Every structure is written in structure tokens, then in C-alpha cells.
Amino acid sequence: MLKAVILDFDGVVIDSELVWFDIYVDWLEKNLNYNLVMEEFLLCVGANYEKLFQALEQKNNFIIDREKFLVDTTQKFIDLSDQLPPKEGVVDFIKSVKDAGLKLSLATSAVRAKPVKHLTRFGLIDYFDFIVTADDVERIKPYPDLFLKAIENLEIEKEEAIIIEDSQNGVLAANRAGVKVIVVPNDVTKHSKHENYEDKVNSLSEVNIAKLASDFK
């Protein structure tokens, strides 16, 4: 029986990953004369920059200054993403989850301030029973900790939840948590090789929560 929905944030609620991709491309070109391609960027989507930067350093024998990267890019991302709208179908989907009497949690590799800011801006924050972020766990995706924490907070069994994700790192985390996952790719993660998911849709407007709950096993 379906009792709860767990939503990712970046790439699911807002389409922020394309903003980040452009920032990474610009920064690496200016600072290291390196041309980042989408397939490389996907290493960090749903997680953070460390996996990508380690891979680039090993491949190219250069050192990436993490502190400089954060100083140069953090405010730029805030400015560029500040007015991003919710993704197609997100608002109606979130409302339908609560109308169906289901619990709702966010589980994101971002720190708390970002999702809280945007969910408040959208008037959606009160729909969430819990918000689980990188501030609440030791390891972010692709580790399962965020989802396991959400399950614990919701006081349900992992078999009673469904996760909504866009990235393969998120899918891996869901798989490792033992929770079913629906994939909603965006302009970045559509390039990922998604594996081991329950369903894949173009947007959350395609997900009928009543039907999902009735068909859930």
C-alpha cells in the first residue's frame, strides 16, 4: 500500500541543473581552458562536484581549486536560479499527493536553505511533512542516506513509498534504499543512462497519483 511520496528537488521541482551545467562549462573554460561535455557533467548531477572534479583531475592531470570554484559560482547560481518557475506538473502533483491523503517528503543533496527558499516562493512548503537535505546526513546521493532518513521521518516501511527522481545518482540512491523510483528526466538528465526504475515519464503532469496508489504493490 502506498503511504508516501519522496521528491527530489533540483531537476524535479525546479530545472536548476541546466543553470549549473552552463556555470560549470563557463568556469572550467575560463580557469582551466577545459571544455566540459554533458556526459562528464552527469557524474555530479544529483550529488555534488567532488566526483566530477576528481574524475577530471585524474583524466587531465590538473588541480581544481574547490574554494575558488565556490567563491566564483555560488552567488552566480543564486542570481540565475532565483526566479526559476516550478517544473511542469509539479504544483498540481504535490497538491494531488496531499489530496490523496499521502505523506510527502523532500530528499535533496542540496543544503536546506535552497529548497526552503524556492518552496516558500512557490507557496508549496506547507505541503511537505518533512524536508531532508545534505544538512541532515553524512553522505548524499548516490548513497541512500537521504532516502533512508526520509523513510524514518515518515514512519513508514520502504515498501510503502515511491521516490521521484531525475538523475541516475538519485536512482542509484533509491535502489540502495530499497525504494521504488519514478524517473522524470530534464534537459540535462535526459542524457543519462537510467537503469532500474519503476517508470519513466516526461513530466509529473503524466503521473496520476490516484492510479499510482491503486496500482501500487
d(CA 101, CA 96): 9
Cis-peptide into 142, omega within 30 deg: yes
**Counts of helices then strands in the chain (DSSP H, E):** 9, 6
Does the pTM surpass 0.85? The reply is: yes
d(CA 147, CA 163): 8
Q: Which of 16, 17, 36, 33 is nearest to 25 (CA)?
A: 36
Q: What is the pLDDT along the chain (217 residues), one digit of tens a residue?
A: 999 999 999 999 999 989 999 999 999 999 999 999 999 999 999 888 999 999 999 999 999 999 999 999 999 998 999 999 999 999 999 999 999 999 999 999 999 999 999 999 999 999 999 999 999 999 999 999 999 999 999 999 999 999 999 999 999 999 999 999 999 999 899 988 899 999 999 999 999 999 999 888 7
